[in-house]
Structure 1
C-alpha cells in the first residue's frame, strides 16, 4: 500500500481525501438528484423518471420559498459581512493578545449558537410585547420576531462571529511593510486600501460572505421556532415534505428542493474559489 501511494505521488497523498469526499459528499448529492428525478404514481405505485419534481420546485409556493430564502440570506449576509469585517479589523489592530484570544473563542462559540436556543433567547428578551419591542417599533413600526424582518434581525447574531473568524486571518496576513511602502511612495491611507489592502482582502471578504450566505440559507430551526413556518423558506418547505405534509405523488419533491439549494451553493463557491486562489500567493508570501 505504501509503494502504491509513493508511485502515485501527489495524487496518492490526496487520494484518501478524495475518497472521503466522494462518499460523504458525492454520494448524497447523487442520491438527492436520483430521488428528485423519480416520481411514484400513487395509484399504480409505478416509479418513472421525470423532471416534474424539478419543474414544480421552480413554480408556485416553492418558488416563493426559494426567493424568500434568497432575500433573507442576502440581507442578513450583507449586514453580517459589513459589521463582521469592521469588527475583525478592530480586533486585528488590538495589541492585547489575551483580548484577541478571548474574542476568537467567543466568536467560535457564538458562530455555532443557532437553532432553538437562539430563538428562545430573543423570544425571552423581546417577545411579543415589552420595553425592548416598543423601542424597536418606535423606529421600525412593523417589526415583529414572527415576520421576515424579525428573522433578518436574529440571523446576524451567529453570522457576524462567523465573518470575524473568516476574515481575521486575512487581516493578520496584511504586512505593515506594505503600508509603509505605500506611504513612502506618497500614497494615502485611502489609496493603500483601494489598491493594496482592499484587493487582497476582497477574496477573504467574499469567502466570509459566501459562508454567511450558506449558513443563513441552510438555517432551519431558528426560523421555524421564531415564525412557526409563517415565513415561507425553502428549508421549512423541505422539512414539511419530509415529515409527510405533501400531496400524494410528490414525495420526492423535497429532494428536488434540496438539489436546488446545492446548485445555488455550488454557483457561489464557483465564484469564490478563483478569487481566493488569486490572492493566496500574496497573503502567504
Structure 2
C-alpha cells in the first residue's frame, strides 16, 4: 500500500521493471492551500473599507454636479476642467517635481547605501540607518520652517554665503526639489540597504578573478540584481513626493503649481467657491497617475525577474 500523501507524485514499477511517475488523486490535503486564503480575508476587508470606499466616494463626487436648484446630474465636466488651465498645470507640475526628485534621490542613494553597507564601523551603520528612519518621516510645517530659517531669504546660510546675491531662491521649483530630496534620499537608503546586503562578496570576487573591472561588475552583475529594488524604490519615492502637501503648502503656498495644493484650495474655496467636484476629479487624476506608474513598474519588474531567472 502506498503511503504517499494525496496529490503527490510517486514512482510505480511498470511491467518491464522501469519506474513510472504517476500523480496521486487529490485528497483532503489538496484543499488546504485554498483554505489558507481565508487568512487574507481580514486584510482584504480592511483594504476594501479603508481604500475602496473613499475611492468610490471620490469617483461618485467627481462624476456628479449640482445646479443652483440643487438638482444632481452625472457629468464629465469636472474631469474636463482638470485637463485645462491651471488645474492641468498643477498636475503636470506635481508629476515633474515627483519624477525629478525621485530619480535624483535614487541615483544619490545608491552610493550612500553602498557605503553604509560596506562600512566596517558597525556604530556608523546603525547611526546612519537610525537617522535615515527619523529624517525620512520628517516633513510638514517643521521641515518647511527649518529650511526657511536655513536657506530662506533671511536664512542663516543664505546670509553667510551671500546666496541671495547669486540668484538663489528657496521658494522656487529647484528650492522645493532640494527640500523634497531631504526626506527622499534617507527613505531610499532604507529601501536599498537590505538589497545591498544580499549582494554576496563571492560574486564580486568571481567577477574580478575573471578579469572584470569594478565598473563591469556593477554593470553586468550588481545592477541587474538590484534593478527590481531600484524600480520599486523609485515608485515609492514618486508616490511620496506626489502626495506630499504640508511642506509645499507651508513653504511656497500656491506660487508653484502643485496638484495637492490646488485640491486644498478647491475644497476650502480659497479662490473659487463650489469647486469640490473639481477637487475630487483632481484626486482621481492623482490615483490614475499613481496606478500608471505602478503598472509600468510592475511590468518592468516582471520582465527583469524573468530575465534574471
Scaled by the length of structure 1, the TM-score of the pair is 0.89
Alignment check: 8 A CA contact 1:36 1:253 kept: yes
Deviations 1:181-229 (A, max 9, x none): 2223332222221111111111211222211111111111111111132
Task: Give me the whole-angstrom Cα distance separating, in 2, the residues matched to 1:28 and 1:130.
Answer: 41
Alignment check: 8 A CA contact 1:143 1:149 kept: no
Task: Give me the whole-angstrom Cα distance separating, in 1, the residues matched to 2:176 and 2:59.
Answer: 30
Bigger drift between 217-226 and 90-99 goes to 90-99
Cα pair distance change 1:208/1:231, threshold 3 Å? same
SS of residue in 2 equivalent to 1:48: strand
Alignment check: 8 A CA contact 2:149 2:156 kept: no
Instruction: Indicate the residue corresponding to 1:83 in structure 2.
Output: 108
The answer for unaligned runs of 5 or more in structure 2 is 1-30
Shift of 1:150: 1.6
Matched, 1:26 2:68: no
1:51-200 superposed matches below 5 A:
51-129=76-154, 132-133=157-158, 135=161, 137=163, 141-200=166-225
Shift of 1:9: 2.5
Bigger drift between 32-41 and 8-17 goes to 8-17
Higher relative contact order by CA 8 Å / sep ≥ 6: 1 or 2? 1
The answer for unaligned runs of 5 or more in structure 1 is none
Alignment check: 8 A CA contact 2:63 2:75 kept: yes
Cα pair distance change 1:277/1:95, threshold 3 Å? farther
Shift of 1:282: 11
Matched, 1:267 2:292: yes
Task: Give me the whole-angstrom Cα distance separating, in 2, the residues matched to 1:190 and 1:82.
Answer: 16
Task: Give me the whole-angstrom Cα distance separating, in 2, the residues matched to 1:113 and 1:185.
Answer: 46
Alignment check: 8 A CA contact 1:200 1:282 kept: no
Alignment check: 8 A CA contact 2:149 2:155 kept: no
1 or 2, which has the higher helix percentage? 1
Deviations 1:42-66 (A, max 9, x none): x111111111111111110001111
Scaled by the length of structure 2, the TM-score of the pair is 0.82
Deviations 1:104-160 (A, max 9, x none): 11111100101100011111122213562253737x943212222221121111111
Alignment check: 8 A CA contact 2:253 2:261 kept: no
User: How many residues were matched structurally?
Assistant: 278
Q: Which structure has the larger Rg?
A: 2
